[in-house]
Structure 1
């Protein structure tokens, strides 16, 4: 199947061709016709599947070919995302594929000044990409009207619920017209997602691409048993001895991320941290430098890493195993994309043995283990308790967290299948 088979207009096809794509990914091949039909949609799609273009392309098609009254533009599409990074990438997708349609869009999120966002909205928009917190703030000041919304997209709905956005989402839904098209995208069809869908969607079409708990066969997974005090030296050893140039490292906490960056810098390994306590400018710079190859290691917490979307990222390291087994799948899914191979390494100490068993049970496979010479774990080590409250739960206790952000670095891809590089839970 080709993009030319999906009923997209010439201006949109021209933009797709300029990005080097000819064939849609499976999620795009299914979701584009579904959205064009005008009905509600419930789709499960993981990172790396091309999901973002799966809804931006048909939305651009619908808006550019429908009749609108002359005069000031009316806001007709609202796309809600949980984080600043994802919001920025969705907006880039809208701009990239809509550049010949004449449609206008902008993105709003917290952590930066509101005045430029207010001016962009006041100038007239067709599409608004937003995180819930900043949108509600501007709605409360009457800077945003949702009275003419025709299409609502909830992107990464599972993460929005994890981050405690349900109350905000309900407030936003109450301000929307009753008659509209609803598109809900999630990594999983959890009980919470099904409950949200039941109250939001009207006879939705269901699309599911790949099992939500499966891992990409293009990713080589490996466990390195190690004592908790030797994790940092082992990570530095792996990076230097293997000459790794680009490594995304996951830690369980913000403090752990900061501490690890300090240690790696002392080892001569360029690194920066990205997490919720970092300023918007710091997060944007860290992500841009990492994508540009100026950093060897980007150290991230789970929530901050949502939206990190890098073509051909070779290595992901779980410095700490995640408390939630499903997050392991999300983490390592950031490598092994677009036909390239990836390596996912986990440094596992005695404290994390139960977490490892939970992960292996979820993905239904036993992960290979390799002890690195000089870093053999103490066989008599005793496990210490780990704070088992997930970072999502920590986030949900906060009053309305703003999203997270940073515009992705643009690059021209080789010709391949599906505009997947700009989506995040694509």
Structure 2
């Protein structure tokens, strides 16, 4: 396939980065106009052949930043030239879909491999020798063990969400995979950029010519030190402006709502009715909590679905497809999905359960306000969870204002109330906001003619 362009004007700012016309044509069709900061920084250096640690806020186009150089340097007819490792099944599907969109006018093909789906279907796709394999660590190891894929032609190793990929849970799998990266190889000798040297590289198993790109919204010093052991020095660390000071995108309006545990569901219902979101994700801490909450919302007339680790892969994919196409408006999710959901036009993130890890908060709210759009994030906080709120504010270097809902009145604890065994054991106390926090009252908005109907009525005709 040759590079061809249509009458659609090519994005000039991307032209300046040295991207070939076939990819520029796809960028134009996908309405890419101006590179984000991480794209402007990472693409030229990746094309120059250096190993990169890239840090940028969630929702700023990190996938395209590493996908474009891979598509540009891979060659036709050679299998597994790039391996992209991701922490979740959903992220594997979405990253591969993005690569397909960007490479649709090139001869380079890709495939997503992950657990929860029959391996036979993925093996069938791999027989066509796609150049790019996007996968979760467990399934990649399985395919390597079965000798269905090999790294003899490998040119690129990408770790997406590197902070999570190198945490304790994934560390052994990553070491297993990277130890199998062989030296030399057909594709690594073929059409390499002149800037690439052929010397030794650091890290176990890394061989001459394999280029590594590790990206995430958050990279702490410990993770950076560990990541460098798998990379070739000198490694370039590229930090998009603001990524290390305030990791949440500026376009997200963030609020917390003070609530007693027994009032959380009532407050959530009031918030959904008040905000009337276009698309919302409600995050829960546990699979059981997500199932229970989704059932209650559905019983109250709000069309929603749940997504968590207990769902079989085919059902998870159906749920995500329906969410993307607007067949329902509220997705109840566990943190399994917080790094694997890339859906345009998510207007609201609601932390029904505040995360204990501030980094999880960063990734949750990064599902909204993608690529410059606006979005809102609300976090329900009980009096006993003040420390978690403070830790989040410290991480994002900002004070989160308190929101109250006009007309919502807290209720006393029910006579049969029992504290959640997983939560604090202290006796309940009246919920109160810390003094320094600014407060905002969410007032009731009347729907005008032609505006979106309330959530509880929106899908009634479909049921």
Structure 2 Cα separation of the partners of residues 201 and 163 of structure 1: 19
Structure 2 Cα separation of the partners of residues 168 and 329 of structure 1: 25
Larger Rg: 2
- Following superposition, the deviation at residue 7 of structure 1 comes to 0.9
SS of corresponding position for 1:82? coil
Moved over 6 A (4+): 381-385
User: Which residue matches 1:99?
Assistant: 104
- Following superposition, the deviation at residue 196 of structure 1 comes to 2.1
- Following superposition, the deviation at residue 377 of structure 1 comes to 6.5
The correspondence for 2:235, drawn from 195, 204, 218, is: 204
- Following superposition, the deviation at residue 378 of structure 1 comes to 5.6
- Following superposition, the deviation at residue 219 of structure 1 comes to 1.6
Structure 2 Cα separation of the partners of residues 287 and 51 of structure 1: 21
User: Which residue matches 1:403?
Assistant: none
* Distance change >3 Å, CA 305–CA 163, structure 1 → 2: farther
Structure 2 Cα separation of the partners of residues 211 and 27 of structure 1: 10
Matched, 1:248 2:281: yes
Higher mean Cα deviation, 166-175 or 236-245?
236-245
Q: Report Cα offsets for 1:304-360 as digits up to 9, x if no partner.
A: 221211222111111010010122122112222333221111111223222112212
Matched, 1:152 2:152: no
Structure 2 Cα separation of the partners of residues 216 and 73 of structure 1: 39
Q: Report Cα offsets for 1:110-136 as digits up to 9, x if no partner.
A: 100111211221222211111110111
Give the RMSD, CA atoms, in angstroms.
2.2
Q: Report Cα offsets for 1:388-422 as digits up to 9, x if no partner.
A: 9xxxxxxxxxxxxxxxxxxxxxxxxxxxxxxxxxx
Q: Report Cα offsets for 1:220-239 as digits up to 9, x if no partner.
A: 21221111111112211221
TM-score of the aligned structures, taking structure 1 as reference length: 0.84
- Following superposition, the deviation at residue 44 of structure 1 comes to 1.1
SS of corresponding position for 1:371? strand
The correspondence for 2:32, drawn from 21, 27, 31, is: 21
User: Which residue matches 2:185?
Assistant: none
The correspondence for 1:314, drawn from 347, 355, 363, is: 347
> 1:312–1:338: 8 Å Cα contact kept in structure 2?
no
Matched, 1:120 2:125: yes
- Following superposition, the deviation at residue 387 of structure 1 comes to 5.4
* Distance change >3 Å, CA 3–CA 359, structure 1 → 2: same
Matched, 1:143 2:158: no
* Distance change >3 Å, CA 19–CA 245, structure 1 → 2: closer
TM-score of the aligned structures, taking structure 2 as reference length: 0.78
SS of corresponding position for 2:376? strand
> 1:225–1:376: 8 Å Cα contact kept in structure 2?
no
> 2:87–2:165: 8 Å Cα contact kept in structure 1?
yes
User: Which residue matches 1:175?
Assistant: 180
Structure 2 Cα separation of the partners of residues 10 and 41 of structure 1: 25
Q: Report Cα offsets for 1:152-171 as digits up to 9, x if no partner.
A: 11111112234711111111
User: Which residue matches 1:412?
Assistant: none
Alignment of structure 1 residues 374-385 onto 2, 5 Å: 374-376=408-410
User: Which residue matches 2:455?
Assistant: none
Structure 2 Cα separation of the partners of residues 375 and 310 of structure 1: 34
* Distance change >3 Å, CA 51–CA 276, structure 1 → 2: same
Higher relative CO (Cα under 8 Å, sequence separation at least 6) belongs to: 1
User: Which residue matches 2:42?
Assistant: 31
User: Which residue matches 1:53?
Assistant: 64
> 2:58–2:249: 8 Å Cα contact kept in structure 1?
no
- Following superposition, the deviation at residue 206 of structure 1 comes to 1.2
Structure 1 Cα separation of the partners of residues 21 and 261 of structure 2: 57
Structure 2 alignment gaps of length 5 or more? 1-11, 183-206, 425-463
SS of corresponding position for 2:402? coil
Matched, 1:368 2:401: yes
User: Which residue matches 1:395?
Assistant: none
The correspondence for 1:232, drawn from 260, 265, 269, is: 265
Structure 1 Cα separation of the partners of residues 228 and 43 of structure 2: 22
> 2:162–2:219: 8 Å Cα contact kept in structure 1?
no
Alignment of structure 1 residues 329-368 onto 2, 5 Å: 329-368=362-401
SS of corresponding position for 1:303? coil
Matched, 1:76 2:81: yes
- Following superposition, the deviation at residue 382 of structure 1 comes to 11
SS of corresponding position for 1:2? helix
